[in-house]
Amino acid sequence: MSLDAPIAPTTLTRSTGLSRLAQDLLPALYQHRLIATSQLHRLFTPHARRPVYLRQQLKQLRTAGLVDATARRTSRLGNPELLWYITARGADAVACDPTIPRRGYRISPQTAASQLQEHTLTVVDMGVAFVDWARRLGDECSPLDWEPEVAHRIRDGDGRGVDDAFMIPDAVLRYTHTAEGGRRRMLSFFIEVDRATMQTTRLAAKLSAYARYQTYVPAGGGRSRRTTREAWRDHYPAFPRLLIVLTGASDRVLANRVQDLRALAAADPRVSQLTAGVTTLQLLQDKGPFAPITTPLSDDASPTDVFLAPTGGSRA
């Protein structure tokens, strides 16, 4: 998908005469659940000095009953910032569009106003950083090129424990990078966002789940059906890189967290098979994904870019 490619209008937006911007906002709110006005400004109207037109379109969508808003629980601005989410009517409209992946999760007004706000918004901040740098570098990463909480089965059976049966990254992000000479690289990432609120050992346990998914071969559909094909091959051309994005604490605390993660990763031989690294949200925003901002979880701790190989490895 091209960075500037318009998002196809849904059946409802065709009949209500919404602007192109309003039509683009609906799928983004449907996919990402909760987005601040400032984040929407950076994603959709970055060349406008102030988001006046954006606010007008959001107001029109709200009047039409397609979106709603809640106040941010902890605002870094002078006044509480509005956080936008799609309503049931708006979600039904987007679901009519066959080009938009279905999302089973529907956000409620109660969830939008809950303590889950900050984690959801931080995941969006991560995606916004990739979109920002794609624009600067002439790469491709659109507001719909990351999906939150995509479940990947890592164990057969009907076990009730979601943590045991599924690996669920905070986001799956796709990015197309154009290197020198015009060579295009299609990259995919599993993203884990850590706001320094999770115990490091618990985050390390999630690394083990990624390692399990990398080798997970589902059981056949019948006694005579056997497969040796890993499940991830049905969804990705190559196993995605794992990028852990840290934020929410001082540089010293985050640096210690990186070292703790490396030590815990070294204790699990399966994790060493992952192409995985850790960076901070601040570095990603300030220097971009192709600066030496990422510390590999295995082997040499020298900072590298999101390719996670000093020479830009060959894996897509």
Nearest 10 degrees: Cα torsion 81, 87, 93, 94: 50
Mean pLDDT by 10 residues, the chain (316 residues): 37 65 96 96 96 97 96 71 95 89 84 90 98 97 96 75 80 94 92 91 90 89 65 95 96 94 91 94 97 93 87 42
Concatenating the DSSP letter of every residue in 250-271 gives -HHHHHHHHHHHHHHHHT-TTG
Specify which residues 67 forms β-bridges with: 86
pLDDT value at position 226? 58
Whole-number Å distance between alpha carbons of 46 and 44: 6
Nearest 10 degrees: Cα torsion 184, 39, 43, 198: 20
Are 13 and 22 a contacting pair, CB within 8 Å? Answer: yes
Task: Select the CATH number that applies to the domain covering 11-114 from these four: 3.30.1330.30, 3.90.1170.50, 1.10.10.10, 1.10.287.1080.
Answer: 1.10.10.10
pLDDT value at position 197? 87
Whole-number Å distance between alpha carbons of 110 and 117: 11
Are 60 and 18 a contacting pair, CB within 8 Å? Answer: yes
Chain position carrying tokens 């029109």: 60
Start-end ranges of CATH 1.10.10.10 in the chain? 11-114
pLDDT value at position 313? 41
pLDDT value at position 204? 87
Whole-number Å distance between alpha carbons of 97 and 26: 11
